[in-house]
Structure 1
Amino acid sequence: MRKKYLLVLAGVVLLIGLGEVACRLIEQVYAYMAFHPLGPVVNLEALNYNDTTVTRAKPAGEFRVLAFGDSYVYSTVKTAFTPASVAADLLGQAGAKARVVNLGEPGVSFFQYRKALDHWTGRIEADAVVVGIFLGNDCAEIARHLVPDDLPVNSVLRDNFVAIATGRKRLAGARHAYGLRLLDYAADAINIQTTGDVVTVDVPEPHTGLYGPLEPDRYLEMTRLFTVAGQAAQCGEMTRGWQALAGLGRDLARLGREGKMRVAVMLSPAEVMVNAGLWREMARAAGLDPKSFDPTLPGRMARAVLAKVAPQVAVLDLTPAFACAAARGDVLYPPREIHWNAAGNRLAGQALARFVGQTWLGLPDGELAGLDPCLEAGPVAAGPADVESCLAAALPPGP
C-alpha cells in the first residue's frame, strides 16, 4: 500500500513538474512572439500599451508616427483621449490620413526609449518618430539611478495582471504569488472566472488606473525631484542624465539618416515649471530658496544638448503653450497628480497635431480647426541660470 501511495505521489509530483515546465515555456514563447510578431498585425492592447492594434505594414496613403516616452506619452487617460489619439483625430479631420502609435511606457527613461526605438522601428513601418521627454524627471532619474539602465522593452507593462488602459485582467500577466507559475496561472484563472475579467477603477472620466493623486508628503517629494534639473547648483550631478539624452539624440539622428524617417523630440514640462505659484508654495513648505530653481533651465538644457549632438532632430517644446494656458487659469494637472488631466492631454495632442501637420505634412496655417490660441505663444523668457556652463559640464568639448 505504501508503495502505491509513493507511486501516486511521484506521479502527482511529475505532473506538477511537467505542468510547471509547460507553463514557463509557454510564457516565454508567448512573450517572445508578442514582441517579435510575424503576422500582419501587432496587438498593442494585449501588450498593455495604451493603444489598440496596428498593422506592421503601413497602409497606402497613411502618414504614421511612432510615439515613444514615459507615462506622459502613455498617458493616464483612456486611449481615445491620449495626445497620440487627439493628434491623429485632428489631422484626420484636416484631410490627412494619419496614425500616431502610442508606444509610451510608464516608469522609464532615456535608456529604455533607445531600446524601444531600436525594437519597434524595425517591426512597425512608419514615416516618423517622436520621443516624448518629461523635463521633470527624465534627467534626474538617470543621474540618480532611480531607473535601472538595463530594463528591457515593455518591462513595466508586461507583468501587470490588469491592463492599465482598459482595466481588463490579463492571464498573460498572471501575478507571481505562489512560487510556481502553474499555481499563479490557476489562481488568476479562478479569479477571472469568479470575480469577472474587468476591474472597476474609481477615477474621474476619462482617466484610467494610472491616475492617482499622491499623499501630500509624496507629492512634495516628487515636486522637489522635478526641480533638481532646474537648479544650476546641481548641473554637475545631472551630467549623466544629459549625456543619456545626448545618446538618444544621436540614435534619433542616425535613424533619420539611415531609415529616411522624420525624427523629433517633444518636451513636456512638469507643473512646477509653468506654475510659479506652485513653486513658491513648494519652496516654502520644503524650506528652500525660491531663487534656487530656474524653471526654464531643464528645457533650455534639453534643447542645447540636442542642438550640439543632433541638430537635425526637430524639437517641439510644449512649455510655452502650457505656461500660457496656466497663466489664463486653465487647470491642466489635477490636484496632487503629477500627470495631465484630459485638458492637458488635449492641449499636448493639439500641439503635436500642429507640429506634424506644419512640419512634416505641409498643411497650411488654419487647416487644423479648433486649436487652442496658446499654441501661438512665444518662447518663455529664459531664466537666470547659465545654460552654457551646464552644457560644458555635461558635454565637454571633444579632443
Structure 2
Amino acid sequence: MRKVLIIISKSILILASTLLIAAASDILFRQYEKKFLIKAVDKESSIINLKQYGFNDHNIDLSRSKPPDEFRILCIGDSYTSSTTKAEYAYSAVLEKELNSLSLGKRFRVVNLGIPGTSFPQYMGYYRFWSKLLQFDAVVFNNYLGNDYTDLEFTPYSPDRAVLDNILTGIGATLPREHSLRFMDYIYTNIQARQNSSPGTAQYKPSFQFPWKRYVQIMSRSARVFDPAELPKFHNAMDWTHQFMNMVRQMQDSGIKVAVVASPPHIFFDNNLLLEISALSRVTSDTFDPALPAFLLDQERKRAGVKDPIIDPSACLTSHANMGEKLYYGTDTHWTVEGNKAVGDYLAAVLATRWFGLSTGSDVLGCNSEAALRVPSEKGQAVIRNLLAKYRPAIAENQ
C-alpha cells in the first residue's frame, strides 16, 4: 500500500510540475508574442509602411496626408480584400490601374487595408480607425458572404466591438485562439502548414490548402447562410449589418463616396464542391440560394437609407467561369489572379459610372455594366420578409 501511495505522490508531483512549467512557458510565450509577433500601427508617423504591418498593398508607403491631385480609395475587408495573390494582382491594385486608365482627370490611389479573419465589427472599427488617421475620398467595403454572417451567429451587437484604438497585425493578431496554452496554437498551425501549405509563386503568396474533405466541411458552414431554413439563425448578424449600414449612410451624408460589395463563395463556382456540401448537409443542392444573403444585405441597405445598391460581382464571375477561367485558388477558398482581375475590372466599371458618370461601354462578359441584384427564390423572399417583419434593432439608430 505504501508503494502505491509513493507512486501516486510522485505522479501528482510530476503532473503538478509539468502544469507549472507549461503555465510559466505560456506566460513567457505570450510576452514574446506581444513583443515580436504582433505589431500595432504607429499612429504618430506621417508615413505608414503598410507592408511592415503585413498589409498586402502594392505600394510601399502611404502618406497620412493626401497629395492634392490624388483621389484616394480605401479598400476595407477580410482576406478576400487582402488576397492570397501577390499585392499587384489583388483586386484593389486592378481597380487602381483600371480607374487610372479611364481618363477621369484624376490620379487614383487604391489602398488595400484588408485583414484576414474579420467581419462587420472589424469593418466598422477599421473604418473609424483609418478615418481619423488618413485623408481619403472614398471607401469600398467588401463583405465576404461565405463567413461574414456565420462568424457572428453567436456574437450579439455591441458598440464597443466596433471601435478600435489601434489596429494590430502580424501572425499573432490573426492566428485563432483555440487552445488554452497559446503556444499550442502556433505548434498546431505549424504542423498543419507543413502538411498542407502551398509555397509562394511569382503570382501567389504562400497559402494554406486544406485537404479536400476538410475543405468541404469548412465550406458547408459557409453554405448555411444560403439555406432559407438556416438564415433565421443569424439574427445577430442582422444587428451588425443594420448598424454597419447606418454607418455607411452617415459616411455618405458627410460627402464620402462609399461602395459595398457582396462577394460570393467558391461553392457556387464548383459543382462538385456544391454536391458534396449538399450530401454532407443532407439537403438537395438547389436548397442553397446564391441570392439570399446579398439580398438581405441590400434590404438592410434600403432600411438605413443608403442610396446605392449592393454591388454583386456574381454575374461577372459566372461569365468568366463559363469561359473556363479558374476563379478560386484550389482549396484556399480565395480568388485567383483571374478572379481578382474580374472583380477589379467590374468594380472599376461600376464606380466610374456611379461616382463619375462615365459610361464604360457595352457589356463585355457581364462585367462592363452594373448587373441588377439577384432576387432569391419565392421561399427565400418569404423568409426574408418574415425576418424583416419581426426584426427590431438591438441598439437604437441614434445611440
TM-score normalised over the length of structure 2:
0.74
1:261 counterpart residue number: 256
Distance 2:214 2:154 in 1: 18
Equivalent residue, structure 2, for 1:123: 133
Question: Matches of 1:139 and 1:161 in 2, distance apart?
Answer: 19
**Structure 1 position 316, deviation (Å):** 1.4
Structure 1 pair 249–73 and aligned structure 2 pair: CA distance change class (3 A): same
Structure 1 residue 85 corresponds to structure 2 residue 93: yes
| CA displacement at 1:299 relative to structure 2 | 1.6
> Conserved in 2, the CA contact under 8 Å of 1:305 and 1:391?
no
Report the AA paired with residue 46 of structure 1.
Answer: Q
Supply the distance in 2 between the matched residues of 1:155 and 1:41 (Cα, whole angstroms).
Answer: 17
User: Which TM-score applies when normalising by structure 1?
Assistant: 0.74
Deviation at 1:294, TM superposition (A): 1.3
Q: Which residue of the partner structure matches residue 235 of structure 1?
A: 231
The answer for the alignment partner of 1:363 in structure 2 is 358
Amino acid paired to 1:129: V
Q: Which of residues 286, 291, 313 is equivalent to 1:296? A: 291
Matches within 5 A, 1:92-241: 92-95=100-103, 96-145=106-155, 150=161, 154-155=167-168, 157=170, 159=172, 202-209=199-206, 211-241=207-237
What SS is found at the alignment partner of 1:100? Answer: strand
Q: Deviations over 1:162-198 (max 9, x none)?
A: 9xxxxxxxxxxxxx869xxxxxxxxxxxxxxxxxxxx
Q: Aligned match of 2:243 in 247, 254, 263?
A: 247
Deviation readout 1:88-146 (Å, 9 max, x if unpaired): 01111223410111111100110011000100011111111111000111011111459
The reply to whether residue 375 of structure 1 matches residue 381 of structure 2 is no
Where 1:299 maps in the other structure, the secondary structure is helix
Corresponding residue for residue 393 of structure 1: 387
Deviation at 1:160, TM superposition (A): 6.5
Q: Secondary structure at the match of 2:259?
A: strand
Q: Structure 1 pair 300/244, CA: closer, same or farther in 2 (3 Å)?
A: same
**1: distance between equivalents of 2:378 and 2:150?**
20
**Change over 3 Å in CA distance of 1:384–1:213 after alignment to 2:** farther
Work out the number of aligned pairs and report it. Answer: 335
In structure 2, the gaps of 5 or more residues are 1-27, 176-181, 185-196, 394-399
User: Taking every aligned residue pair, what percent have the same amino acid on both sides?
Assistant: 22
Cα offset, 1:398, TM superposition:
5.8
Distance in 1 (alpha carbons) for counterparts of 2:257 and 2:350: 12
Contact 2:39 2:169 in 1 (8 A): no
Task: Evaluate the alpha carbon distance shift between residue 391 and residue 240 of structure 1 in structure 2; reply closer, same or farther with a 3 A threshold.
Answer: farther
Q: Distance in 2 between matches of 1:384 and 1:156?
A: 43
Name the CA distance, whole Å, in 1 between partners of 2:387 and 2:52. 43
Q: Give per-residue Cα distances to partners, 1:6-25, cap 9 Å, x unaligned.
A: xxxxxxxxxxxxxx9xx99x
> How big is the alpha-carbon RMSD for the aligned residues of Structure 1 and Structure 2?
3.4
Residue 53 (structure 2) pairs with residue 47 (structure 1): yes
Q: Judge which range, 371-380 or 358-367, deviates more.
A: 371-380
Which residue does 1:279 correspond to in 2? 274
Amino acid at match of 2:348: A
Moved more, 280-289 or 125-134: 280-289
How far apart, in 1, do the equivalents of 2:198 and 2:276 lie? 31
Alignment-mate amino acid for residue 86 of structure 1: V
For 1:8-27, what aligned pairs fall within 5 Å after superposition?
A: none
Query: Which residue number in structure 1 is paired with residue 265 of structure 2?
Result: 270
CA spacing shift, 1:364–1:249, aligned 2, 3 Å: same
Q: Does the C-alpha gap of structure 1 residues 214 and 391 become closer, same or farther in structure 2, counting only changes over 3 Å?
A: farther
